[in-house]
Amino acid sequence: MLKDLRDWIALLEREGELVRISAEVDPDLEITEIVDRVVKAGGPALLFENPKGAEHPLLINQFGTERRMALAFGVDSLDDVAAKVSDVLEMQPPEGLMQKVQGLRKLKSIADSRPKTVKKGVCQEIVLTGDDVDLTKLPILRCWPGDPAPFITLPAVITHDPNSGVRNVGMYRMQVIDKRSTFMHWQIHKDGRADALATDGKIEVAVALGLDPITAYSASAPLPKHIDEFMMAGYFRGESVELVKGVTVGIEVPAHAEIVLEGYIEKGELGEEGPFGDHTGYYTAAELFPIFHVTALTMRKDAIYPSIIVGKPPQEDAGLAKATERIFLPAVRMTLPEVVDYDLPVAGTFHNMAIVSIKKQYPGHAAKVMHALWGLGMLSLTKCVIVVDANVDVHDYQQVAFYAGANVDPKRDVILSEGPLDHLDHAPERQFYGGKLGIDATAKWPEEGARPWPEEIEMSAEIKDLVTRRWSEYGL
């Protein structure tokens, strides 16, 4: 189990997955260009030891490959993490002693996943409050040439629902305004924003930077609002996230964080945030967002600042998003057991396209699945859904394109609907709301208005075996 960011860095280093850069490098754009090249080449995590003008090293590209995501979760493949989710979601009343013991073990691991409060945390080795707070000492990146300021891009933003008290942890970028304040870019569909809107005026906020990789990931996970992301992190870690009371806020913060920002947001106090070179591949337009006032900056000695670059895909955030795709498949299947698999193409920036394979059982089944996805959590923001039959590998885009062409009569098999769209989608006429496209690329049935469906070409097993046996004789 990785306790903190330093354990993680040590593991990355042992695995040959991290390179230290001692040259002085500018957090203003220069790091972006380096990281962009390294990410696109499938390269290592980078620890910049000497960011220009800053007092702290910067870690980036920790999540940039599938291998590192698997290392982060301590698994061979992210499907193993999904299996751990199925374990909980599909728990059945046990039969016999063996199953009862296994069931108890599962229940215990759920019970143990609850965050634990501790008295002291290394995240408070250094405490700066009031005028001593100075965000400019952190190597915060200005990511793209059109960005007006540096942005904190890998935060875990902690709030509590003022009515239920339930904690929320979200990853929302924070544009630096001055030494002691930033914007808080929580978008319209997000939980942190809902917490803030539910207050009478002021909401306390804490921001953790530099966490073990599972806890950091959890901030980006699209959990239902009433579920605490730190609890999910504890479940996947197999050990609770340890929390310590904030110095100036009534919020508990991860005890092992490198850096913590504590502060508050006043509901009515907004300012113009952005533009920002975003994961959509475009600059998202400047827009009004709340201002976060920092009342305390606490940190470990020699704190390491974590960052991530988003931009035209593929970028490092694909690692986090692919983890979500895999981990949440069992949750999708809870509502839609007919779903075999799904793929959110990286190039589709995750909300633009979903490809889903189903065990088709009745006429119109593909349409049912489209409408269900358009009503399911954050997947409801998906602009285009392509449905294929169970035998199609949704991750093989050649296959998908083949069936989307071969099996589709655009007049009969395309559904145009409408609904909520991603906050950052610049294409619709109105922000937040617009069209949806569903493409039914399954084989059609007579009840769906199809003529007799032809047979797909496939070589006989007999001839395949024969050729395999004789392969060496052909001299190929």
Nearer to ligand FMN, 152 or 366 (CB): 152
Nearer to ligand FMN, 154 or 385 (CB): 154
Q: Judged by CB under 6 A, which stretch of 27-35, 103-111, 219-227, 354-362 contacts ligand FMN? A: 219-227
Residue 167 sits in the site that holds ligand FMN (CB under 6 A): no
Q: Judged by CB under 6 A, which stretch of 167-175, 232-240, 297-305, 443-451 contacts ligand FMN? A: 167-175
Residues belonging to the active site: 278
Minimum Å gap between C-beta 183 and ligand FMN is: 9
- Amino acid identity of residue 108, one-letter, is K
Q: Write each residue from 269 to 308 as x if it is in contact with ligand FMN (CB under 6 A), else as -, in one continuous string.
A: ---------------------------------------x
Strands 242-245 and 167-170 come out as unpaired
Distance of alpha carbon 295 from alpha carbon 181, whole angstroms:
9
Q: Judged by CB under 6 A, which stretch of 166-174, 205-213, 281-289, 364-372 contacts ligand FMN? A: 166-174
Minimum Å gap between C-beta 385 and ligand FMN is: 19
Residue 342 sits in the site that holds ligand FMN (CB under 6 A): no
Minimum Å gap between C-beta 310 and ligand FMN is: 5
Minimum Å gap between C-beta 161 and ligand FMN is: 11
Q: Write each residue from 135 to 154 as x if it is in contact with ligand FMN (CB under 6 A), else as -, in one continuous string.
A: ------------------x-
Nearer to ligand FMN, 261 or 441 (CB): 261
Identify the bridge partners of residue 416 per DSSP, sorted by sequence position. Answer: 437
Residue 173 sits in the site that holds ligand FMN (CB under 6 A): yes
Q: Write each residue from 185 to 204 as x if it is in contact with ligand FMN (CB under 6 A), else as -, in one continuous string.
A: xxx--xxx------------
Name the token pair of 247.
Answer: 């110095």
Residue 73 sits in the site that holds ligand FMN (CB under 6 A): no
Residue 176 sits in the site that holds ligand FMN (CB under 6 A): no
Strands 116-117 and 242-245 come out as parallel
Which residues make up the interface to Mn ion (CB under 5 A)? 168, 191, 223
Minimum Å gap between C-beta 320 and ligand FMN is: 4
Q: Judged by CB under 6 A, which stretch of 179-187, 199-207, 384-392, 414-422 contacts ligand FMN? A: 179-187
Half-sphere exposure of 379 (CA within 13 A, CB side): 23
Residue 325 sits in the site that holds ligand FMN (CB under 6 A): no
Nearer to ligand FMN, 247 or 354 (CB): 354
Residue 310 sits in the site that holds ligand FMN (CB under 6 A): yes
Minimum Å gap between C-beta 364 and ligand FMN is: 31
Residue 180 sits in the site that holds ligand FMN (CB under 6 A): no
Interaction site with ligand FMN (CB under 6 A)? 153, 168, 170-173, 185-187, 190-192, 220-222, 308, 310, 317, 320
